[in-house]
Structure formats: structure tokens, C-alpha cells
Amino acid sequence: MAATTLGDRLGELRVRRGLTQEALAEKARLSVDTVRKLEQNQRFTARMSTLNCLARALDIETSALLGPPAVLAPSPGQDPPSILALRQAVTPLSGFPGLGTEEDGDPPTVAQLRDSIRSTETVRRRGELTKITAVLPTLLADARAAVRDCTGADRAASYAVLAEAYQVAATTLTAFGKEDAAYTALERSMEAAALSDDPRLEIIGVSTLSWIFTKQGRIADAEHVAVRLAERIEPGFRSAPVDLSLWGILLLRGASAAVRAERGDTAEELLSLASAAAARIGVDRLDYATPFGPTNAGVATVNAFVDMGKPDKALRHAERIPGLKSLPPTWLARHYLDRAQAHAEMRHDLEATRALLAAERTAPEWMRYHASSRHLVAELRSREVRRTSPVKELALRLEIDTA
């Protein structure tokens, strides 16, 4: 029988490693009592810092302890369990006086919180959405506990982690089509950012807000918030690379919205500015889990040409993009999808299928939940006359209705 609780999984993994409870506790620098209570299901949750210590001692990813949530098995008319858990983490009962409290106990240190957000961002970049929904509720609770109990510089630093965690929650909920909950998460992210020790968090928050507005169909608002902030923070000659990068990210968000508003000239102007910023940086960067540089600017330009209905121009530009392998898996998979859409529009179905298979190899879980990829696979499958083919096999793996 498969392990179903955190304690069950912990005990199973410990035995596989040939460790006693005492040995695991020593290796993880935790008390034996903590390990014992978890394995005996006297406690069903643990702080993210505790999970990280156990995962390192077992040489596994933290998300493996939490198990894969059943994101594809919602009850009729309800959110899947993992999405419901994330909604509850974003708006817990403890936020309403007299209705609930957060877990008691000593909060994690700032160093432990930062380690947790880094590991979460790594999973996010790989497009493993189910793992994100597993780890975020615990991270959010940890960060709120630290904010509540810390003072001074530690409290400001804890607010920075809380802001990032809410921002990751916002992007994850948006990816699952839950833009209403994503907007709430982002509001809380911006509130935390204002109390943090990192003024740049506001910029990445507005970038996410622009993306959420785009997903909601609020295209004018999406362009407005991104371009307005970009104008306000426009970097100077001596600006640091990170500031150029964040400015460029905002320009790309604005360009994406302008494309959808059928304002092609504005979009190309913003893309040109972003490309100039990327060229000035000269290398690909990853700031706040978001890439920017010559590669990402090139990828964004291809995406814009695809959305503007210029597939031939998109494919020509795609051939000139340097360093694609430097992109995080989700960004690279998105680029392969853009290539696939351009080929499909030109009726190059074989090349489109090859690009989709490359996207699947790069970020398989992202492919499963990305609406555009599923629609394109369904379209190509409908045009396929052979009984069996790579695109039909892909449709089966993605569980796309074959009726």
C-alpha cells in the first residue's frame, strides 16, 4: 500500500536508507521526538525548515516528503484538493480574528526561510506545478510565523520571503486558471513587499500583476501597469545589471499585452527597448526566479511574432536566438510551443510535432497543464490521418480526449 501521510512517507524513506529514527534525527540535526511523532502520525505537518533538514538527511527533494497532490481529481463543482489547500494557505482562518491560529512553535530563522524559498523557486522553474502546491502552504505558514515573532532586521527579511512566497503562489494559481485567488495572493505579496527590506520586490510583483491582468483579459490594465512602472524606474548609465534586468522584464510584459491589444507598433517598440537592455547586460541573468538577457529577449520576440500572426518571421528570428539551453525549463518549453504554433500555422505539422515533443521532454508537467499546448496537440491530432503517430501518442500521454 502506498504511503499516504507525511509520517508514512518519512518512515518508508528512512527504512529505504537503512537509518534508525535516532540516526535520521542526528543526521538531520533534529530531535528524535520530532521524527517519532511524525512517523507515528501524532503530527501531520512540519515546518518547512524541518522538512528541508529531513530531506537533506535522506538525500531527496523536500517535495518528495509531502507526496504528489491529486491535482487532476477534483470533486464535482469544486477545486482539486491541492488547489483548495493553496487557496487556504493564501487566505488562512488565522487571518480572521477569533477564527483560527497558525501552528505554535519556534519560527524558522531567516536563513532557513531563504533556503526554503530558493528550493521552492527551483521546483517552480522546472514547471513541477504539483510539487509547488505541496510545498507552498507550509512555506507561507513558516514565513507568517517568522513575521509574527521576529523583530527589526529579521522581521523585514522575513517579510521579503513572505512576499516572494505569495508571488509564487500567485503565478501558480494563475497557471491553474485561478486568477481570482492569484490576485488575492499578489495583493498580499505587495503588502509584504512594502514592509520588507527589498524594494525591488515591488517591481517583480507588478510584473506578475501584468501577467495576471493579461490572463484575466484586462489587456489595457496589463500594459498600463507594466509600462508605467518601467517609465518610473528607467535605469541610467550607471545602473546595476539587476536593475536593467527588472526594467527589461517589465518591458516584455508590456509588449506582451500590447500584442494582445493589437498594438503591434507599440509592442515592437517595447521589444526593441528590452532587447537593447539585454544587449547592454550582455549575459543571461536569473533575478527573482525570472530570466532576462539576450536569450529571453529573443524568445519574447518570437512569442510576439507568433501572437501577431507572423509565423514565418517568428521562425526566422528563432533561428538567431543564442544560448537557449540557459533558459529555465518552463521558459524553454514555452519557446518550443511558440515554434510549434508557428509551424502549425504554416501547415508544417511534422515540424510542429517535433517542437511539441521537445517541449514535453523539457517540462512534461508544464505541458500537461498548459492550455495552449493541449489545444495545439488536439488540433494537430485532428489533422493526422494515420492510425498511430507521434502526435496521437502525445495526446494520449496528455490525456486529451481522443473521441
Q: What is the pLDDT along the chain (403 residues), one digit of tens a residue?
A: 455 677 888 999 999 999 999 999 999 988 999 899 888 877 656 676 788 789 889 988 776 776 654 444 444 556 666 788 888 889 887 766 665 555 555 778 899 899 889 888 888 888 877 778 888 888 998 999 999 999 999 999 999 999 999 999 999 888 888 888 999 999 999 999 999 999 999 999 999 999 999 888 899 999 999 999 999 999 988 899 999 999 999 999 999 999 989 899 999 999 999 999 999 999 999 998 889 999 999 999 999 999 999 999 999 999 999 889 888 999 999 999 999 999 999 999 999 999 999 999 999 988 888 888 988 999 999 998 888 899 999 999 988 865 4
Q: Is 364 exposed, middle or buried (0-12, 13-18, 19+ CB in 10 A)?
A: middle
Q: What dihedral angle (degrees, nearest 10) is formed by the CA atoms of 102, 106, 112, 114?
A: 40
pLDDT at residue number 72: 42
pLDDT at residue number 75: 47
DSSP one-letter code for 106: P
The C-alpha angle with vertex 381 and arms to 380 and 382, in degrees rounded to 5, equals 90
Predicted TM-score (pTM) of this structure: 0.79
C-alpha R_g of the chain: 22
Q: Give CA–CA dist 328/395, Å, rounded.
A: 24
Please list the alpha-helical segments (H only) found in 59-178: 62-66, 81-90, 110-125, 129-149, 152-175
**Residue 140 CB coordination number (10 Å):** 25
Q: Which class in CATH covers the domain with range 1-65?
A: mainly alpha
pLDDT at residue number 177: 81
Q: Give CA–CA dist 91/100, Å, rounded.
A: 11
Q: Which of 308, 365, 305, 359 is nearest to 335 (CA)?
A: 359
pLDDT at residue number 245: 97
Question: Which residues, 6+ apart, have CB-to-CB distance to 270 below 8 Å?
Answer: 227, 251, 252, 254, 255, 258
Residue 287, strand partner residues = 290
In the chain, domain spans:
1-65, 107-198, 212-297, 328-403
pLDDT at residue number 71: 43
Q: Give CA–CA dist 237/234, Å, rounded.
A: 10
Written as nine digits, the cell of 211 is: 501577467
Q: Give CA–CA dist 388/275, Å, rounded.
A: 43
